[in-house]
Amino acid sequence: MNIDATTKLCGLIGNPVKHSCSPLIHNTISQMIGNNMAYVTFCVSEEGVGKAVEGARALGILGMNVTVPHKSAVIPYLKEIDPLAQKIGAVNTLVSVEGGYKGYNTDILGLKRALLRNSITLKDQEVIILGAGGASRAINVLCAQEGAKAVYLLNRTLDKAKAIAESVNQAYERDVIHPMMLSEYEKLSGSNYICIQTSSVGLAPNVNEVIIDDGKFYEKLAVGVDIIYNPATTAFMKKCQAVGKPAMNGLSMLLYQGVEAYELWNQCKVSDEITDKVYEILKLHLQVK
């Protein structure tokens, strides 16, 4: 990469940021398409979020990604916010607009795109979501936005699931999210559910852990989606595959959230050919097989 006086700059703010794959994703895309843009990371404390946004604007930084723990804290410092990000209550991408930055949530756009690349659509489908953390809230919003028929939100504690369900149902003015205790999974009597695993259960190094162990649960699924990408084949995915159900991990989501941000910053379209090449580089970097 040749950096010169015309190089555009984008970056990531969060704490920590040393582990981030975002520089690899964005700088690789720039190199492949010949875009004079560089991407770097900035470790920012919680009390420094506002100053970081203000400083980025003053320096003419084209756009920023935002990672934990700042995805909600950054919102008061934005000029505008995308309606979907507003409903989620979290922003991970800032795009330069007149007078400041506009906030988007490309995490969820990335998941949508990853699902579509795997021929999975949410419209009119019944969905099971496992876990009720921050990622779960965003995915519940996506399901409601995309017109899912019903979403069964299973969590170990009911209060967190209820809070997400009430918020999303109110935002979309329909009773689409149904909170349940994780232990109540046997009450799900249907079949061909799209199941999205959003918890940290099964994350390395605890690779043998699974949020639901009962093989009969997995027989009810059409497909399983784990947002974890390390290990490449999680215990949840193995459970799906053991009963002949397809399963995917979160690496495509990780990649596509970056691609969506890149396209917003540069007003361009990254081809599937480029995306597939970056995916292979990302797998190699993470030693995912």
Q: What is the pLDDT of residues 30-54, one digit of tens each?
A: 999 999 999 999 999 999 999 999 9
Task: Tell me the pairing of strands 100-104 and 93-97.
Answer: antiparallel
Tokens of 152: 């069964």
pTM, full prediction: 0.92
- Across 178-207, average pLDDT: 94
223 contacts 247 by C-beta, under 8 angstroms: yes
Between the alpha carbon of residue 190 and those of residues 76, 128, 141, 185, the distances in Å are 43, 11, 22, 11
- Is the pLDDT score of 205 beyond 90? no
For the chain, what percent of residues have pLDDT higher than 90? Answer: 94
Beta bridge partner(s), residue 224: 195, 247
pLDDT of res. 107: 93
- What pLDDT digit, counting tens, does each position of 234-261 carry? 999 999 999 999 999 999 999 999 999 9
Sorted by sequence, the CB contacts under 8 Å of residue 170 that are 6+ apart come out as none
Half-sphere exposure of 8 (CA within 13 A, CB side): 16
Question: Which residues are marked as active site?
Answer: 71
CA distance 7 to 238: 45
Tokens of 110: 């990335």
**Strands of 193-197's sheet in order across:** 177-181, 150-155, 126-130, 193-197, 221-226, 247-248
CA distance 46 to 36: 31
| Predicted confidence band of residue 2 (pLDDT cuts 50, 70, 90) | confident
Phi, psi of 49 (to 5 degrees): -60, -50
Please name each of the domains of the chain with its CATH number.
Answer: 8-104+252-286 (3.40.50.10860), 109-249 (3.40.50.720)
AA letter at 131: G
Sign of the torsion formed by the C-alpha atoms of 260, 266, 271 and 274:
negative
Sign of the torsion formed by the C-alpha atoms of 220, 225, 227 and 231:
positive
- What pLDDT digit, counting tens, does each position of 6-34 carry? 999 999 999 999 989 999 999 999 999 99
pLDDT of res. 204: 80
Between the alpha carbon of residue 233 and those of residues 56, 112, 128, 249, 288, the distances in Å are 38, 20, 20, 7, 9
pLDDT of res. 1: 72
108 contacts 142 by C-beta, under 8 angstroms: yes
- What pLDDT digit, counting tens, does each position of 103-139 carry? 999 999 999 999 999 999 999 999 999 999 989 999 9
Mean pLDDT of the chain: 96
**Strands of 80-81's sheet in order across:** 37-43, 8-14, 63-66, 93-97, 100-104, 80-81
CA distance 167 to 177: 9
CA distance 250 to 228: 5
* Cβ neighbour number for residue 200 with a 10 Å cutoff: 14
